Structure 1
């Protein structure tokens, strides 16, 4: 399937229209396109925090307050094995990262098909604020190696060391 109207609205940051469409057809929250992406992936890729909030609100409204349904939606992986959190971390959208992690800290421990975690992506990007935010949120959580996993058995620490600080 190609992109649904909800994919398109999410990619363009039309949060209010996202809410309207979700009220009419909440099944679109679960729709995947040809790259196996959900509307959450699209909103996260383009840094639309308000749209992510609207999608989360719609999911809670449509599927009840059952946290498992929302977690299932947020943990959906695209054709590269990446969640919406990977998309946001790779592109430096710290507010989206924070919003997604507030709903499900376990997202940070999901690696893509190359065994890369969102924390590794944020670190490799050199986004100190985003890394600090992610690590702070994880402090009270049981951390496993997948939380800081990177390609070829590297870790987020490798990515940090390899950053050119310009000094």
Structure 2
């Protein structure tokens, strides 16, 4: 017989616990002749149905569902906020979960199917996270409203499916107009699809929820910025083909993001759809400045050979520095050579401190000596009449 606990709950009969743990359905049915014995719980709040689900005793579960107490047992919640259905799905016991799901559907126990545990996960969250695609689709079919729930991390089933790259589930969720698409840290399902380079999911989201492409995460990155920074050219192409104006997103400038990661393919795709895409950050640094600072030689060569971006060679940042100033200051020898060979490069430009690129090169190496061999990469301008040699500029 069940005894009372201090909280007033019935403690599970030891014989019932042994039957549930071993999957002994016959013993359970004998014990069930005593009214209420099946409703006893263990200290964590588990009923005999919870225990059998946790241990994946399929026949034991089937037997319980034929008894009068089954609705109460199926609806019972343990101290983790789990129904037996949630307990089965969380542990990846697909066959047991399917049995319970069909029972709940047939008995119209929608609230049991929709139940969220103490962390906010429902059965669909758990099925997707564990990669059980068929069970997830079965859950969606049985109770589409599962798609609306978000857990305590703001993760929707669609976001988790996109993060796991489960295309079938994502597409099914997108067919539900009210399904949630949010994710942790301000991300959404499109961010997740971009991160994985899943052009199929990205295309479907752009067709059905195009506004997601302009949503920023907590770091102010949209899916477009993520596509560029993660070098996802195939996904970037999908986004731009749907809406070419996305290439003009203001902050951070996409060509500047591409310069940080040094991806020429991404830059080409951007310029293909947006030939006059923004190329300066708010402080006046161009994507050429950034590429030089980050040491991306191929990106620098790409800009120097670009019809759209060739004018950047003499542009100055907020400190009056050209890309040549930065190459000299940080001793980027190969870049100095590439920049010098531009016929339209103006090596006489002075920064806000009145220093030329030659001066920067001198003092970046050894200010006590004349220009060393690296200076050969920059042609010295003629000395002004009556002026000081270039390496002694004091303006």
On whether the aligned pair clears a TM of 0.5, the verdict is yes
Q: Are 2:234 and 1:155 aligned? A: no
Does the alignment pair 1:26 with 2:148? no
Distance 1:135 1:144, change over 3 A: closer
For 1:93 and 1:13, the matched residues in 2 are separated by 17
Is residue 95 from structure 1 mapped to residue 193 from structure 2 by the alignment? no
Larger relative contact order (Cα-Cα within 8 Å, sequence gap ≥ 6): 1
Shift of 1:33: 1.2
The equivalences for 1:51-70 within 5 A come to 51-57=169-175, 59=176, 69=178
Aligned 8 A contact 1:40 1:52 in 2: yes
Question: Cα offset for 1:107?
Answer: 1.1
- Within 1, Cα distance between the matches of 2:141 and 2:166? 20
For 2:183, the equivalent position in structure 1 comes to 78
After TM superposition, the score normalised by the length of structure 2 is 0.34
1:2 to 1:125, Cα distance in 2 relative to 1, 3 A: same
8 Å CA contact retained: 1:122, 1:130: yes
Q: Is the Cα–Cα contact under 8 Å of residues 19 and 55 in structure 1 kept in the other structure?
A: no
Q: Distance in 2 between matches of 1:116 and 1:129?
A: 19
Structure with higher Rg: it is 2
Q: Secondary structure at the match of 2:220?
A: coil
Maintained 8 Å contact 2:197/2:234: no
Ranges in structure 1 where 5+ consecutive residues have no aligned partner: 60-66
Alignment partner of 1:34: what SS?
Answer: coil
In structure 2, distance between residues paired with 1:10 and 1:81: 20
1:124 deviation in Å?
Answer: 0.4
Tell me the C-alpha RMSD between the 2 structures: 2.4
Number of the residue aligned with 2:165: 47
Give, in angstroms, the shift of residue 86 of structure 1. 1.0
Q: How many residues align?
A: 147
Is the CA contact (8 Å cut-off) linking 2:124 and 2:157 kept in structure 1? yes
Question: Are 1:15 and 1:54, in contact at CA under 8 Å, matched by a contact in 2?
Answer: no
The alignment's TM-score, normalised by the length of structure 1, stands at 0.75
CA apart distance, 1:102: 1.7
Query: What is the CA deviation profile of residues 65-85 of structure 1, one whole-angstrom value per residue up to 9, with x for unaligned ones?
Result: xx5x35xx33xx334111111
Gaps of 5+ in 2: 1-118, 264-295, 299-395
1:109-159 CA-to-partner distances (Å, cap 9, x unmatched) read: 1111221100100110111111111111113xxx478x836xxx4222212
The answer to whether the 8 A contact 2:195-2:227 is kept is yes
**1:20-40 superposed Cα distances (whole Å, 9 cap, x missing partner):** 212322221111112110100
SS in 1 for 2:134: helix
Residue in structure 2 matched with residue 62 of structure 1 by the alignment: none
Higher helix residue share: 1
Flag the 1:138–1:14 CA change in 2: closer, same or farther, 3 A: farther
Shift of 1:41: 0.7
SS in 2 for 1:162: helix
Query: What CA deviation, in whole Å up to 9, does each residue of 1:35-79 have, x standing for no partner?
Result: 11010010010111111012223x2xxxxxxx5x35xx33xx334
Query: 2 CA distance for matches of 1:53 and 1:2?
Result: 23
| Contact preservation (8 Å) 1:10, 1:39 | yes
